[in-house]
Structures are given as C-alpha cells and as structure tokens.
C-alpha cells in the first residue's frame, strides 16, 4: 500500500493560513490521507488549529489525521514537507517597536516586514529560529522540503542557503499570481486568458511578459493597455483594502516599462521616491497608507476572536481553493505530475544580472525530482539597478547574521533606499542603536546591546 505523506506545520497557530494550505492539500487525492503534524509554542492557538484541521477532515470525508506538538524536533520527525509560518516577537512587542522607534526620527513606514529598518530587525529576529528548524530537519527529516512563508522572505531564503545549503527549501509568496489576478481585473479580462513571466527578487519581481491570449491562439502584449488605463483613470480599480489604492505601482510602470509584483503599500517603502518628510502632497497623490501593517494586525487580532469561536462551534468548515503554491508543490513531488510555481531560491545564475548567491524569485518546474528553478538570463538594466538597491540591504543583513558582526547591521540600514533618503548617518546609527536596545532579548545575543558611537 502506498505511503501517505507527513506534512509538518511549524507555526501552526497561524490558523487561517494553515487552514487554507491544509484545505488545498486535502482536496488533492494523492495527499488526502496525509498526517498533518501541527506544532506551535502557543497552546491555545495550537488547540484552535487542531479543531480546524479535524473539522476540515470531517467536512471533506478524507482519511487524513492531525497530530499536535509543542516540541519542534518531534513534530519534524519523518516529515516529507515542512511548512513554516511564524512571526518572531509578534505584533506586540516587536512590530510595534519596528514602527514606533523609527517614528521618533521622522522615519515613517507602511509595512516594515521586508526591507528598511523594520525588515532588517525582523530578519535578525527570524533567521536564527529558521536555522534551528534546519538543524532539526537535518537530524530527523533530511530529505524533507521546507516551504517557507515567513518574511523577510529574501533575507530568510538567502540566510538558509548560506548556512544550510543541503536543506531543500523554497520561499513562497502569493504576490506573483495575486497581482496578475488584480491586473486582469483592472483590464476586465479573465485571469485564465492571461500569460505572464515574472522574475526578480521577492516583492520586487517584474512581469517581463504580460499578455492576453487571442481567439486565434496568438498573444497580445497588455502593457500598452495598462498604461492607457492608468493615464485615463480607469486603473487601478478599487481593491480589497480601501486604504491602499495601488497607484505607486502604476506610476512606476510608466517610469520603468514593467509592472512589479508586490503591492503599492510595500513598494512605496522599497524606493526613495514616495515617502518624504515635508511632502504630504506625495502621500495624498499616491494614496500611501502609512502605518498600514499595525492597522492590519489590530484588525486581524480582532477578527480572529470571532472567527475562532465560529470554528469551535461549526459542524463543518467549508473549503475553497486558495492561491497558495504549497499543495501544488507537494502534489507534484509526491505524484510526479509536473507544475510550475514562482519560488524564492538561491539565484545560482538563473538571473545573470543579479549576484549568484542572492535569493531570486523565478519560475520553477516541480516534479518528482523536486523544485527546479528555470533560467531567465539578464533583466532589463533599469530593473536590475532598482533590485540591486534592495539586495544590498539583504546581503548586509545576511552577512551580519553569518559573521555575527554588529557593524553590518548599521551598514544594512545605511544602504536602505528609504532610510538613506530620510536620515543622515548619525541619525541612522542612533536609530539602529535604539532599535537594538528596544528589541533586547528578541535578538540573538551578539546583536543585543546599548549605544555605539558613530566612530566606533
């Protein structure tokens, strides 16, 4: 009898996300008998997640089973796939710190989880824990594939590849397919008729092609239509979040000739052009949602209270297919049926105009042999140039982590496009001092500490 896969969730208390992935998995016949091992350090969230998984199993009438663990290594033992989704330090205290301390310097952010001083700090908090998962995987499930859904995605993926190159890993995000759906909606076209090819780094990949299939089977370039729709005020259409009107990305399309895959609220803080002290006109013109991520966290925490209660009392939990790649990857590896996903992997020459060791986001073929990134070649020079400004920050953060050299934390902040556009060198050094002091024990021991002088 064929063996069923064992799928371990580290950070299973991210219940809504876990529910979407498990719902996708259990609807695939080859995976429907899986053992779902749930691990979290929060007993209440773990229990809530187990309730949800068991109700999904009952609703779908499949043979899967759920197990719960508070011990990471035990949860990982014998796993075939390891799904990682957690936030070290949570909304409180760490996200609040990442926003409030920079504000004292006049440095305002929107999301602060990928780049900038917020992204750097999150990387320093997160990577050491990801490394413990790699250690445990090498001990108890060395052949498993890690599906990593944690931000800062590029820093995490780079740091894992650097320290544990033998771990099979891919960083996953839904921005590529999610944005393609948004653009199809903006142009009133069915998403199924769109063809695209995207490449770059996580949250700053670009559609190198974005086309619509014609009745005769040929494809038409949609970039002129997108620019025209923006110029005429027909795009962007209102999205799921009224605070985030998505104008930044359309403006950048008119300047670069290509559309970026991650949202305008993210993109505004990866570049030096949109959030500027004393320029409220820019915030107004492009609808930039300052402090957006804390607002979302508060809304999410509030929403979860009602949702957890609803899940507890529900007899059935209905499942829709999500946009996530996880179940597609598992199905292809398990059955050999090929699929194509967008994944974050060590570049290794896939994009020739970016560093070989950076984390690149490229199309990947998945089959029984695992995840195989595809060759892209050189990106248009203006895209390469902009992406490199973000890679500088990622590289210095990874260097800090690998060498335990605190100096590189300051260097990373100094190279950040948004931070450098707003603050002088003394302010940047002082801000990093304050952030390191405020985060305290959430950081690895080598990174903690009090004040450093600019000359040190």
Q: Which residues are annotated as a binding site?
A: 151, 173, 203
Residue 290: φ, ψ to 5°: -65, 145
Give me the catalytic one of 174, 185, 212, 439.
174
The 3-state secondary structure of the chain reads: CCCCCEEEEECCCCHHHHHHHHHHHHCCHHHCCCEEEEECCCHHHHHHHHHHHHHHHHHHCCCCEEEEECCHHHHHCCCCEEEECCCCCHHHHHHHHHHHHHHCCCCCCCCCCCCHHHHHHHHHHHHHHHHHHHHHHHHHCCCCEEEECCCCHHHHHHHHHHHCCCCEEEECCCHHHHHHHHHHHHCCCCHHHEEEEEEEECCEEEEEEEEEECCCCCEEECHHHHHHHHHCCCCCCCCCCCCCCCHHHHHHHHHHCCCECCCHHHHCCCCCCCCCCCCHHHHHHHCCCCCHHHHHHHHHHHHHHHHHHHHHHCCCCCCCCCCCCHHHHHHHHHHCCCEEEEEEEECCCCECCCCCCCEEEEEEEEECCEEEECCCECCCHHHHHHHHHHHHHHHHHHHHHHHCCCHHHHHHHHHCHHHHHHCCHHHHHHHHHHHHHHHHHHCCHHHCCCCCCCCC
Binding site feature residues for substrate: 151
Q: Choose among 84, 174, 155, 160: nearest CA to 117.
A: 155
Contact 338, 367 (CB under 8 A): yes
In the block, residue with structure tokens 């824990």: 129
State the Cα–Cα distance between residues 382 and 205, nearest whole angstrom: 12
Q: 174 catalytic, yes or no?
A: yes
State the Cα–Cα distance between residues 394 and 413, nearest whole angstrom: 10
Residues noted as catalytic: 174
């Amino acid at each position: 009898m064929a063996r069923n896969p064992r799928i371990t969730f580290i950070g299973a208390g991210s219940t809504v996300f876990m529910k979407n992935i498990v719902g996708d998995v259990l609807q695939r016949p080859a995976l429907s008998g899986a053992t779902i091992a749930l691990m979290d350090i929060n007993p209440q969230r773990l229990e809530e997640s187990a309730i949800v998984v068991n109700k999904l199993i009952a609703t779908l009438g499949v043979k899967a089973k759920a197990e719960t663990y508070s011990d990471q290594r035990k949860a990982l033992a014998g796993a075939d796939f390891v799904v990682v989704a957690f936030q070290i330090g949570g909304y409180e205290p760490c996200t609040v710190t990442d926003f409030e301390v920079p504000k004292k310097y006049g440095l305002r952010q929107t999301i602060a989880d990928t780049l900038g001083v917020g992204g750097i700090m999150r990387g320093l908090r997160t990577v050491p824990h990801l490394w413990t998962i790699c250690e445990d995987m090498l001990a108890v499930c060395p052949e498993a594939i890690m599906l990593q859904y944690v931000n800062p995605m590029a820093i995490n993926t780079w740091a894992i590849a650097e320290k544990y190159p033998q771990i099979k890993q891919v960083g996953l995000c839904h921005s590529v397919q999610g944005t393609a759906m948004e653009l199809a909606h903006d142009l009133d076209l069915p998403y199924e008729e769109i063809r695209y090819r995207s490449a770059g780094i996580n949250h700053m990949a670009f559609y190198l092609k974005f086309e619509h299939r014609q009745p005769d089977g040929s494809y038409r370039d949609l970039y002129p239509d997108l620019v025209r729709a923006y110029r005429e005020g027909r795009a962007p259409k209102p999205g799921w979040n009224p605070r985030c009107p998505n104008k930044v990305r359309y403006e950048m399309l008119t300047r670069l000739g290509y559309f970026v895959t991650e949202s305008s609220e993210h993109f505004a803080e990866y570049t030096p052009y949109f959030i500027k002290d004393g320029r409220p006109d820019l915030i107004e013109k492009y609808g930039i949602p300052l402090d957006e991520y804390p607002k979302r966290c508060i809304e999410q925490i509030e929403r979860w209270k009602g949702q957890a209660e609803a899940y507890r009392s529900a007899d059935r939990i209905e499942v829709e297919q999500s946009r996530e790649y996880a179940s597609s990857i598992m199905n292809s590896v398990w059955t050999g049926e090929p699929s194509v996903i967008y994944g974050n992997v060590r570049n290794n020459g896939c994009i020739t105009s970016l560093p070989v060791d950076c984390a690149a986001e490229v199309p990947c073929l998945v089959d029984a042999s695992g995840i195989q990134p595809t060759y892209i070649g050189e990106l248009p020079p203006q895209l390469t140039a902009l992406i490199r400004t973000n890679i500088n920050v990622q590289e210095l953060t990874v260097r800090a982590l690998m060498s335990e050299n605190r100096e590189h934390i300051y260097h990373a902040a100094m190279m950040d496009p948004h931070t450098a556009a707003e603050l002088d060198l003394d302010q940047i050094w002082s801000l990093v001092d304050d952030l390191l002091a405020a985060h305290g024990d959430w950081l690895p021991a080598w990174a903690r500490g009090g004040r450093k002088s600019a000359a040190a």
